[in-house]
A and B are shown apart, each in its own frame.
Chain A
Amino acid sequence: SSGINAEYGQHYYITNNLSTMRILGPKVSNCFFLLSCWGTIMLLLLGIFFQTKSVILLKDIGYDEDRYESAALTCFIAGGIYLVIGVITYWQKVVNDRYSALEPETTTIVF
């Protein structure tokens, strides 16, 4: 289906158009987006600190200086995985925002 059909599109989970494919809901995608931002930045920095062989991280690798490089590689790859998760959740965030922009905002009647 091309374009966004407001009435039916909401219940389509797999569509042909990438910009309307909704896999994750708004809460999950926002939550994991924030988490993966944090994860990417922190794991990348941690990887850099492992590469510069900072002393403070010695006890995390069991006092074995040879494991610095492998730990650094682990951190970088994990950071990369979080980057991928971040991109996916960001895409889902955008798709969810598009869906919620279609529905007019409603409130409850408050006395």
Chain B
Amino acid sequence: MMVNSPCFTQCSEADMSKLLRSEDMSLIQIFLSQEASYNCIRELGELGAVQFSDLNEGVNAFSRNYVSEIRRSEEMERRLRFFAGEIEREKLPVPADYTVPPAPNPKDLIDLEATLEQLEGETRQINANQEALLRNFYELKELKHVLNSASAFFQEGAAIQQEGLKERLTPKYDEEVAAQVSRHLSFLCGVINRAKIPVFERVLWRASRGKALLRHMEIEEMIKDPVTEEDIPKSTFIVYFQGEQLKMRVKKICEGLGATTYPCKEDWEERRQTEAEVDKRLQELTSILSETKNHRFRMLNTVVSSINSWIIQVRKVKAIWYTMNKFKKTETGLLHAEGWCPKLHLNDVDRALKRGAQVAGSEVAPILNTVTTRRTPPTYHRTNKLTKGYQAIIDAYGVATYQEINPAIFAIITFPFLFGIMFGDIGHGCIMFLAGLYFCLKENYFLKRLKSYEEIFLMLFHGRYLIMMNGLFAMYAGFLYNDIFSLSLNIFGSGWQISNFTQYENSTGDIDPGKTYGLDPATDDWTGKPYPFGIDPFWNLAENKLTFINSYKMKLAVILGLAQMTFGLVISLFNYKFKGKTLDVSCTFIPQMIFLQCLIGYLVFMIFFKWFMCDPSTPQPSLLICLINMFLKFGSPIEPEMHLYDMQLYVQSALVVISVLCIPWMFGAKPLVQHLYPRVRQASYAPLPQSYEQFENDGEEEEEEEEHGFMDMMVHQGIETIEFTLGCISNTASYLRLWALSLAHAELSEVLWTMIIGNGLAIDINKYINPIFLVITFLFWAVATVVILIIMEGLSAFLHALRLHWVEFQNKFYEGEGRVFAPFSFERMLNGADDD
């Protein structure tokens, strides 16, 4: 007992890191005074240690306490969106500023609100002014064009009067009108959209019964619409008609079709004067417009540098108000908050509350109470940047129940290891390792700019430690398989030799390249010195390479499968002991372990036995047939082809009997004991945790332990037994994917090498052209390797290794029915956590 040791008393609870299980959580109650509440919650948001429960669950969103404050922050957000729209319209560059500002205190908040209101008002006014000025500007421009084309129109009109009618008039017009043309005509001129001219013509013709004449001319300059800033092609027109009634009709038609009319004098002098005035006015307007534009620009520039910071501040403020809406007002005028907090952060929460109250200048100190409860707390695993990725992939399948053993800590090593077994190439592993290493070393650069990347890149980036570890373990497996880009390294000297060359020589005494070479340990080819680490490089040249490697990898897969499944079962033992479920230990764990070892453990024993003890010169029994015959030919003596060792019959019979006895043990023992001795309390059938927020009182809910009937227990246990026994066989077979993927990877690698670089080296034209071919083929080979072998196979191996963890490993022990601890934290909110 270390009670008297001085260093023990100095350790605080926070220093004891609990990797194995989730953190101890406690339910806390906080009582805050109204003035201090905003500041205290602000401090807690920066700390990020408390997950608040919603005490006003049934209350409508619109009738909560702080609805008006939320409305105000949404108004601020609306103003910020308006500014964002304006900035985008002007395409102003936003300087990158990656500092995260703290939430504003109440005084600064009011200032910010006022600033935003004032800026928005000014900006809107400038926009309105600009629009009016632009409209004026374009009208003047149109007038100028009308004046320009008026001269052309009038000359035409004079020509009509002077020269004669038949050549000028279009066939539409009457003889009568032609006679009247020589008399004085009224006219109206203006500007219309070019697209509407045919309609205009037709309507005029119908309305005037052919008595109006339309002439139009295109304006080359495109006129901008002041609101939408689009270019619209327009034309000037002039309508000749006679009489007041027609004039009113023509005016109405112009209005209806959106044509603007301008007053225009017939007299050339007056027109010139008007044109001069228009020019002067246009010049004035241009300078006013540019000034307005500059003013707007300057206005937006003052906003641009702080807009991202304001957005973050407003989001934080809104989050604070939403959180405060979860609290209840007590009769004494205090705010009552409830939530979950890890025990190790209790002191920090206390300090944060005191800090907040002090800043607010409130005399009433906030009260922090720990409440005992039987509700199940959320699961909180403390992670660092390495373990975060592994925890994420385990949590993706199911969050650990409160304080059950966390499989993520084992996955830190087992996951890359299984990945490596499936990926197994030094070269590819090296590339993957370097890629992961690059992201890990440059993580600060990327972390600051997280928001500007797409989803796929973000997924890759968040898994950078996984990629790096996977690459490292893939390199290790590559050394084991002795495979670098499908070639083998001969570091230590091979244990094989060619003892007899004559069988491979053809008639002339040269080596016949057509003859294939198979390795047989029974011949003199085997020197008896095994290759110290990894597969002998000579196997790469052998014809029976795949026969050997397949057998080896399959056996390796089964061995690893048994190891991981046994490990999973042992974890279940620790889980049972932690929760005090001794009945489960004796009625579930022990028969499961015995059953697994009797079957698959025996198979692995036979594998090792055959590897160590068998003589290669005679054919040896197939282990799978042995295993099958163990059950099918139970009791009959062992055939000579299946004979591995003496006493095999008795050992195998005993194993079969024991494993079959385990089944009713797994199936019936526990329900029987629970039925006969009901005092043995088991929480194993407790219902799933309900939603904790629904409870109205102060958290003294009890978890109901229903008394299931005997038959229910039998059925439940029966299902579990069947799952486990069938799972023993199917999960072991599932582990064979370790072999399958590594075979696929090795074969793909070999195909790429021989087909691409092999062909590149085989081209032997000229010693100057050869290197250029090699350069090009290397390029193709490199791209194919990265895309097919590293990315595609890497994703595939990642997925399969993950599946092996999620299903085959975790179904031996994992409950995974917890909910994740989601504290009120500004950092989590800004990085995109969506809880509410």
Contact = CB atoms under 8 A, between A and B. Distances in A.
A73 interface: yes
A61 B541 CA distance: 14
Contacts of B772: 78, 81
B95 interface: yes
Contact of B95 (A42, A54, A106): A106
Contacts of B487: 56-57
B84 interface: yes
A42 B487 CA distance: 13
Contacts of B778: 39, 42-43, 78, 82
Given A56-B540, A57-B487, A60-B754, A81 B775 contact: yes
Contacts of B488: 56
A61 B759 CA distance: 9
A42 B513 CA distance: 28
Contacts of A3: none
A80 B782 CA distance: 17
Given A43-B774, A108-B94, A111-B81, A61 B761 contact: yes
A55 to B, nearest CB: 7
A54 to B, nearest CB: 7
Contacts of B761: 60-61, 71, 74
Interface stretch (B35-43, B45-53, B652-660, B763-771): B763-771
B591 interface: no
Contacts of B762: 60-62
B540 A109 contact: no
A63 B513 contact: yes
A59 B93 contact: no
Contacts of B758: 59-60
Contacts of B88: 109
Contact of A78 (B81, B308, B490, B771): B771
Given A43-B778, A75-B774, A111-B311, A104 B767 contact: no
B94 A82 contact: no
A107 B77 CA distance: 19
Contacts of A94: none
A100 interface: no
A7 interface: no
Interface in A11-48: 35, 38-39, 42-43
Contacts of A108: 94, 452
Nearest to A104: B95
Contacts of A74: 761, 767, 770-771, 774
A109 B95 contact: no
Nearest to A106: B93
Query: Is the contact region of chain B dominated by helix, strand, or loop, or is it mixed?
Result: helix
A110 B451 contact: yes
B307 interface: yes
A67 interface: yes
A55 B537 CA distance: 10
B311 A77 contact: no
Given A75-B774, A81-B771, A106 B96 contact: yes
B77 to A, nearest CB: 8
Nearest to B494: A55
A38 B786 CA distance: 12
Contacts, number: 98
B344 interface: no
Contacts of B541: 55-56, 58-59
B662 interface: no
A73 to B, nearest CB: 7
A56 B779 CA distance: 22
Number of chain A interface residues as a range: 20 to 34
Interface in A52-99: 54-63, 67, 70-71, 73-75, 77-78, 80-82
A97 to B, nearest CB: 13
A80 B775 CA distance: 10
B757 interface: yes
Contacts of B81: 111
Contacts of B779: 35, 39
A106 B94 contact: yes
Contacts of A70: 764, 767, 770
A56 B537 contact: yes
A71 B774 CA distance: 10
A102 to B, nearest CB: 13
Interface string B91-131: 00111100000000000000000000000000000000000
B686 to A, nearest CB: 43
B793 to A, nearest CB: 18
Given A110-B311, A111-B81, A56 B490 contact: yes
Interface in B450-490: 451-452, 487-488, 490
A56 B308 CA distance: 60
Nearest to B95: A104
A41 to B, nearest CB: 11
Contacts of A67: 764
A42 B308 CA distance: 47
Contacts of A75: 771, 774
Contacts of A73: 767
Most buried by A among B87, B311, B767, B778: B778
A43 B777 CA distance: 12
B490 A59 contact: no
Contact of A107 (B308, B315, B490): B308
Interface string B490-501: 100000000000
Contacts of A104: 93, 95-96
A48 to B, nearest CB: 13
Given A61-B761, A74-B767, A111-B81, A38 B95 contact: no
A35 B781 CA distance: 11
A64 to B, nearest CB: 8
Interface string B271-311: 00000000000000000000000000000000000011001
Interface of B: 77, 80-81, 84, 87-88, 93-96, 307-308, 311, 315, 431, 449, 451-452, 487-488, 490, 511, 513, 537, 540-541, 753-754, 757-758, 761-762, 764, 767, 770-772, 774-775, 778-779, 782
Given A43-B778, A78-B774, A111-B81, 20 more contacts: A57-B487, A59-B758, A60-B757, A60-B758, A70-B764, A75-B771, A81-B772, A81-B775, A104-B95, A105-B96, A106-B96, A107-B95, A107-B96, A107-B449, A107-B451, A109-B87, A109-B88, A109-B307, A109-B311, A110-B451
18 contacts: A35-B779, A42-B778, A43-B778, A56-B488, A61-B762, A62-B762, A71-B761, A74-B767, A74-B774, A75-B774, A78-B775, A81-B772, A106-B93, A106-B94, A106-B96, A107-B452, A109-B84, A109-B87
Closest 10 CB pairs of A and B: A77-B771, A63-B513, A105-B96, A78-B774, A106-B93, A78-B771, A74-B770, A107-B96, A109-B84, A60-B758
